[in-house]
Amino acid sequence: MEGLEQWKDQLEQLKSQLEPWKNQLEKCLHEAIEYLNQIPPVQLYAAIAVLLISTLLLLSIRLFKRAKSNTVILTGLSGSGKTVLFYQLRDGSVHQGTITSMEPNESTIVLNSDSNKKHKSKPVHIVDVPGHSRLRPKLDEFLPRAAGIVFVVDSLEFLPNCHLASEYLYDILTKASVVKKKIPVLICCNKNDKVTAHTKEFIRKQMEKEMYDPDDKLRASRSAISAADILNDFTLGVPEEPFTFSQCRNKVMVAESSGLTGEVGQVEQFIWECVKP
């Protein structure tokens, strides 16, 4: 009984201590109501509307950040080394005996190269899209959720394939889904471990020359897409000026790599920039 009495006494003391706070809160609430009653209804409604819009905007921004894609696409001509690069990014292996892919390869990985150890790890969804001309329409299935595109070029056998590679890249850079979302593109000059491989600067300049198309012949020659697709796509460059990748609406960069030797740091850095929070 004594314990119960002590507990009641403590409760009464607590109530007496809280009484001034209660009175102060009631006073503040009363003053706030009086202040609101003095505000014209139009101003009050406007203030509420601004508060609601600001709240919705902040929620939308947070939702957009959370929904940012983590998908990066590897594409390019057949034989450029996309699949070897895919396996090198996935688990650091070269998978000797890899043959031309007929179906997309997909994997969710965590970048672990030395150049990215300072960054917070984030899972990345890598998609290796087949480069055969008849299989390229598969690329359109992944573009809507792409955060970046790695266009792989064989820097060893570049000159014989320069026109075809430039035509394919032109197709990608003029797609509405790429231009409107400003999806960044990395031209990855692969197989640079070979002595006779062309430099990234040489490849960049040659592709820019190949894609300088004042009469739009390159655009008209793309047999893999329909007339409707052409109408929905964009054009490249500035009229009557030599084309450079800096004229593109989205960011286009050039880097070197070697899937066989594991020199993929520049590719991983590009991927990280595409998917970082």
Predicted confidence (pLDDT) per residue in 136-157, tens digit: 788 998 999 999 999 999 999 9
Asked if 102 and 227 sit in the same domain, the reply is yes
Distance between CA atoms of 98 and 61, rounded to whole angstroms?
A: 43
pLDDT score of 228: 42
Single pTM value for the model: 0.71
For range 90-118, the mean pLDDT: 70
Asked if 107 and 129 sit in the same domain, the reply is yes
Determine contact, residues 272/116, Cβ cutoff 8 Å: yes
Asked if 53 and 10 sit in the same domain, the reply is yes
64, 90, 109: which is the final residue of a domain? 64
Asked if 53 and 85 sit in the same domain, the reply is no
Asked if 146 and 205 sit in the same domain, the reply is yes
pLDDT band at 220 (very low <50, low <70, confident <90, very high): very low
36, 64, 92: which is the final residue of a domain? 64
Asked if 78 and 213 sit in the same domain, the reply is yes
DSSP string, 194-229: STTPPPHHHHHHHHHHHH--TT-HHHHT-TTS-HHH
User: In the predicted model, what is the mean pLDDT of the chain?
Assistant: 80
Determine contact, residues 92/242, Cβ cutoff 8 Å: no
pLDDT score of 163: 93
Higher pLDDT, residue 118 or 176: 176
Give the position of tokens 């012949």.
217
- The parent domain of residue 57 ranges over 1-64
Asked if 106 and 220 sit in the same domain, the reply is yes
pLDDT score of 114: 44
pLDDT score of 17: 72
16, 32, 64: which is the final residue of a domain? 64
CATH at 203:
3.40.50.300
Work out how many domains the chain is built from and give that number.
2
pLDDT band at 51 (very low <50, low <70, confident <90, very high): confident
Asked if 152 and 174 sit in the same domain, the reply is yes
Give the type of residue at 212: Y
| Interval 243-261: pLDDT, tens | 899 999 999 999 999 988 8
Asked if 210 and 94 sit in the same domain, the reply is yes
pLDDT score of 223: 41
Higher pLDDT, residue 72 or 261: 72
Distance of CA 157 to the CA centre of its chain: 29
For range 223-232, the mean pLDDT: 46
Structure tokens at 219: 């655009």
Higher pLDDT, residue 50 or 147: 147
Distance between CA atoms of 200 and 156, rounded to whole angstroms?
A: 11
pLDDT score of 151: 97
Lowest mean pLDDT among 44-48, 61-65, 129-133, 203-207: 61-65
Distance between CA atoms of 28 and 184, rounded to whole angstroms?
A: 55
Higher pLDDT, residue 229 or 51: 51
Determine contact, residues 84/95, Cβ cutoff 8 Å: yes
Question: What DSSP state is assigned to residue 119?
Answer: S
Asked if 133 and 267 sit in the same domain, the reply is yes
Asked if 8 and 104 sit in the same domain, the reply is no
Alpha helices by DSSP H, listed for the chain, are: 2-38, 41-66, 82-91, 139-142, 158-173, 176-181, 200-211, 217-220, 227-232, 265-275
Asked if 112 and 241 sit in the same domain, the reply is yes
Q: How far apart are the first and last CA of the chain?
A: 61
